[in-house]
Chain A
Amino acid sequence: MGAFILQRLARAVVTIFGVMLLTFVLFRVVAGDISANYLASDASPDQRQRFYRQHALDRPLLVDATKPITSPAFWDSQFTRHLIDSVTLRATSYATGQSVGRMIAERAPYSLALTMPALAIGWLAALTIALLIAHYRNTWLDRLAVLLTTLGMCVPLLAYMIVGQWIVFRIVPAAAWGLRNVSNIYVPVAIAVLASIGGNVRLYRTIILDEITRDYVRTARAKGAPLSRVLLGHVLPNCMLPILTQLVMAIPFLIMGSLLLESFFGIPGLGGQLVTSISRRDVPIVTALTFVTAVLYVTGLLATDILYAVFDPRVRLKPRA
């Protein structure tokens, strides 16, 4: 088990390094001259030089080939600084001068307040509905549910957001925007749940139905056990693994919030932050946030792998591919 985790960790580090390299290339090299976004239009060349020096943009990109390879100065390059700044969360925004650590501390609670309830409520509701549908499969209820969920999946989140806000505004105007009352957050939460419930119910239904068609269920029913007991007692535990996997993969991204919902409902979270920083060419923030996301992602992958290794005996017994 230990070797397994170590191997996965090593792979995770390599992935994160890959992400850093990619974002670095994308934003430092491709984006070009960033100073134009932050300096006045008639800034003198001296001012531009000062801007570059201040933000260490005059260092060589990857390695300083003019210095000997053994000295630390060889590694003093933009990429190294970018790595260190991102890892220690010390990167400061070009635009506001705020450090990314502080920005995350300030904004993360808002994003989490939106995504955590949405995940919990959405998951519970979808699972319950899927179980109910599986119980009543092949009846009109099942067909109606399939129709509704398929339809619900096809309507874009944008439509739910716009119409949802309009409806809420008609009923409780003060809740249509902003966080005046803490309970206002449940409006975008409800919209997020609505938009995702269709897809989730279909997915869980497929997983549960796959299990229900297995032989042991038929045996149990033949022995006279009621379907509800079979569902809850036998089918559900066996379905848990794929369902949990999906859930666990979603957890790392909770902190990044939701771009569309946050900007539409005025929630000051991290959701829009990455896109705003990209549009402002605020490179330190972009790279630091991407680093954070990458770390969360590989953590999620690692957790899923461990989950499978612990709960699914077949994984442990299967020889390495």
Chain B
Amino acid sequence: MKWFSVISLIVAAAMAASPFLLLRSDTAGYDRVVIGYDDTGQAIFAARRVVRFSSYSATVRSIDPATCNDPTSAWIQGHFYEGLYAYHYLRRPLEIIPLLAADLPEVSADGKTYTIRIRPGVRYARNRCFGADSHHRWATRTVTAEDFVNAFKRAGDCHLQATDVARAPLSGRIVGFDQYAAATETFQPADASRYDLPMPGVRAIDHLTLQIQLTAPDQQFIHTLALHNYAPIPREAIDCSLTGPVHRPEQVVSTGPYVLQTFQPQKLIVLVRNPDFREMTYPRSGAPGDAEAGLLDDAGKTVPFIDVIRLDYVREDYSGWLLFLAGEIDSSNVQTELFASVVTPDRSLAQRWRRRGIRLHACQSPTVYWLEFNMSDPVMRASPSLRRAICLAVDVETYVSVLFNGRGKRAINCLPSSLEQLDPAGYQAHVLAGPGPYYRYDPDKAAAMLLAARDELAASGLLIEGHLPTLRIDLPGADVQYAKMGDFFRQQLQAVGLDATVTLNDWSTFQAKVSAGKTQMHAAGWRSPDGRADSFLQRFYSGAGSPSAAYSNRRFDVLYERVRALPDSDQRTQLQAEMTRMISEDCPVLLLTEPESFVLTYDWLKNVKPHPVGYGYDKYLRIDTDRRRALGGRED
């Protein structure tokens, strides 16, 4: 018995101390960072590397530009993929500047042909698909126009299943795009020769000139080119491993300021400085007020400043907040519950947080959230009065104040007011269209409309024993915020006599239900990737490349196609306003909020200016390491 107890004690002690054996220390392989190569090909290491600590809470669904569909993936991809054009970091209203293009495109007189010169000398980050170089490292080469052709072909390749953001703007717009997409279906997934098929609408005239042919005149196409979804992809990468979507960091072939070193989707992402990045400097001019805010202090200096970006997966906002307060990460979103205690009523930071070196930044992004009515559902389709009644029954102002602590404002029509800074013409359309007649809180009118709804439904035989049917609402998550949202909607609908059941789905089930058309009302929204009114109006278009096939309004579609061909003008704005009014009248959605989001950072993180639409601006951030050490922040 004696030896048994001794052995068991030893075993127990070993088990208790096992974490020290099982868990390795955290530096995740970025101890030494290469900042360049000298003449003999030897790597030059950073003397004292600067690491930025951040976190992400949503799953990164994609590191492939063609399948990038959500803000988190886009944010991560923006660090290493670059597109032809981009938005200027500081200037407002938004201005498009060339990024991988040499200058702005030449548009032909009929608006159908875009000729773009590529910037010479842009090198990819070293990758195994280029083979080895003379110093036994992976080689690299410069970007050519053919690489962009590959990018557009990938957006149409059916084996990659490119998503809305990448494919929808091209479908039906670029000559030969849809035919190419159809042709790729006949190829095997692993057969890269499908990229040898020509796409007439995108051609490389020579190594550094790209030409795009559109099916219809489109003066706004440059906004599509400002997405990084069309980052260049070299043919060597496709032959080597990219006949399917990018899954592993080794497959990423990119030109951006950072290289994806570690990618463990629900654990850790590490981005390391790209030693082959071209020379790029901090902008020398910005919007009014930037100089006073210190945003131009680094004008002209070489970017990126930060060597390593380490992103830990923190699933809950609450834990992220704890980490931020402990100084473990450099920035954080402001949680709803904390909002009232962190931010004063006039939207500035409460004093006790300022004293700890914390700063508040408002993020304006052109986003509208709504509750979408599935028009293929018989009840929703049969009764416009029911839809209008629902819109009148929900008190969105209280929704904002109770659920979001007042962070955001009610959307009055399908164009957000945040367009003011981004698309002045679109903003004009928003103002001209005015508040929708049903996008306000009027429970008495709602009750009255319900009588009309009852008649409409009775005529279609959809009443259940003389009562209005129970409505179904589907939400895309099961966490507290969605539970509260669902509860709120039920309360509001019950107050006018409507019964509703709310289902909290996980993301996959929600997607499946929406794409199968099995929902009645579901939460949706749109965050515009280019800050233009057109992208919001496109959500209601039912023609080619349309995102939502359920809502279809012939008059709306006709106007949309007309507007697309026009350059910015008064007439265009008038037409946009009319389209907006149509949507407000028809109520295919229950408009909810234009959210207001805030970011808190410590003041050792410099040059912070949240960009409303674009990604890839983290290269401009700088860290004052002395200040960080003085305030007790994390160094390693």
Residues of A within 8 A of B (CB): 33, 36-37, 39-44, 46-47, 50, 54, 96-97, 106, 109-110, 112-114, 116-117, 119-121, 123-124, 165, 169, 173-174, 176-180, 182-183, 185-186, 233, 236-237, 240, 263-264, 266, 268, 276, 279-281
Contact = CB atoms under 8 A, between A and B. Distances in A.
Contact of A123 (B12, B323, B507): B12
B516 A36 contact: yes
Contact of A37 (B14, B266, B509, B634): B509
A173 B325 CA distance: 8
B517 to A, nearest CB: 9
A36 B322 contact: no
A117 B508 contact: no
B76 to A, nearest CB: 15
Nearest to B161: A40
Interface stretch (B296-304, B309-317, B348-356, B384-392): B309-317
Interface in B154-202: 158-159, 161-164, 185, 189
Given A173-B327, A266-B315, 17 more contacts: A36-B515, A39-B515, A43-B161, A47-B158, A116-B16, A120-B13, A121-B12, A169-B322, A176-B319, A177-B314, A179-B23, A180-B328, A180-B634, A182-B20, A268-B267, A268-B313, A279-B507
B1 interface: yes
B15 A120 contact: yes
Contact of B512 (A36, A120, A173, A236): A36
Given A46-B185, A174-B326, A178-B312, A113 B514 contact: no
Contacts of A264: 316, 319
A33 B19 contact: no
Nearest to A281: B508
A207 to B, nearest CB: 17
Contacts of A112: 18, 22
B515 A280 contact: no
A33 B514 CA distance: 13
A252 B316 CA distance: 30
A197 B23 CA distance: 26
Contacts of A280: 506-508
The 6 A-B residue pairs whose C-beta atoms are closest, nearest first, are A36-B512, A41-B515, A173-B326, A120-B15, A37-B508, A113-B19
A179 B26 contact: yes
Contact of B315 (A46, A119, A236, A263): A263
B549 interface: yes
Nearest to A174: B326
Contact of B247 (A36, A96, A123, A240): A96
A37 B513 CA distance: 9
Nearest to A47: B158
Nearest to A234: B1
Contacts of A97: 247
Interface of B: 1, 4, 9, 11-20, 22-23, 25-26, 158-159, 161-164, 185, 189, 247, 264-268, 312-316, 319, 322-323, 325-328, 506-509, 511-512, 514-516, 549, 634
9 contacts: A36-B511, A47-B161, A50-B158, A110-B22, A121-B12, A173-B322, A177-B319, A178-B323, A279-B508
A186 B25 CA distance: 15
Contacts of A281: 508-509
Given A40-B164, A41-B514, A117 B319 contact: no
Most B CB within 10 A of own CB, among A113, A174, A178, A279: A178
Contacts of B16: 116-117, 120-121
Nearest to B186: A46
A297 to B, nearest CB: 20
Contacts of A279: 506-509
A112 B22 CA distance: 8
Most A CB within 10 A of own CB, among B1, B162, B512: B512
Nearest to A107: B267
A119 B158 contact: no
A277 B12 CA distance: 33
Nearest to A117: B16
Contacts of A177: 314, 319, 322-323
B519 to A, nearest CB: 12
Contacts of A114: 19
B326 A54 contact: no
Contact of B163 (A36, A40, A46, A236): A40
B18 A116 contact: yes
A279 B9 CA distance: 41
Contact of A124 (B12, B17, B512): B12
Contacts of A233: 1
B311 to A, nearest CB: 13
Nearest to B17: A117
Given A173-B325, A185-B23, A37 B511 contact: yes
Given A41-B515, A97-B247, A266-B314, A174 B328 contact: yes
Given A116-B15, A182-B20, A50 B189 contact: yes
Nearest to B20: A182
Nearest to A108: B22
A240 to B, nearest CB: 8
A264 B158 CA distance: 39
A117 B312 contact: no
A182 B19 contact: yes
Contacts of B511: 36-37, 41
Contacts of B15: 116-117, 119-120
Contacts of A124: 9, 12
Contacts of A36: 511-512, 515-516
A117 B515 CA distance: 46
A180 B26 CA distance: 7
Contacts of A268: 264, 266-268, 313
B103 to A, nearest CB: 35
A93 to B, nearest CB: 10
Nearest to B18: A116
A149 B515 CA distance: 52
Nearest to A240: B4
A131 to B, nearest CB: 12
B323 A109 contact: no
A197 to B, nearest CB: 15
A115 to B, nearest CB: 9
A163 to B, nearest CB: 14
B23 A113 contact: yes
A47 B184 CA distance: 11
A39 B161 contact: yes
A41 B546 CA distance: 11
A200 B26 CA distance: 35
Contacts of B161: 39-40, 43, 47
Contacts of A40: 161-164, 515
B434 to A, nearest CB: 32
Contacts of A237: 1
Contact of B159 (A50, A173, A183): A50
B265 A96 contact: yes
Contacts of B514: 41
A240 B159 CA distance: 60
Contacts of B13: 120
Contacts of A117: 15-19
B82 to A, nearest CB: 25
Nearest to B158: A47
B244 to A, nearest CB: 9
A44 B515 CA distance: 12
A123 B5 CA distance: 13
Nearest to B515: A41
A37 B512 contact: yes
B390 to A, nearest CB: 24
A202 to B, nearest CB: 21
B194 to A, nearest CB: 14
B393 to A, nearest CB: 29
Nearest to A175: B326
B322 A182 contact: no
B19 A178 contact: no
Contacts of A96: 247, 265
Given A36-B516, A37-B511, A96-B247, A176 B313 contact: no
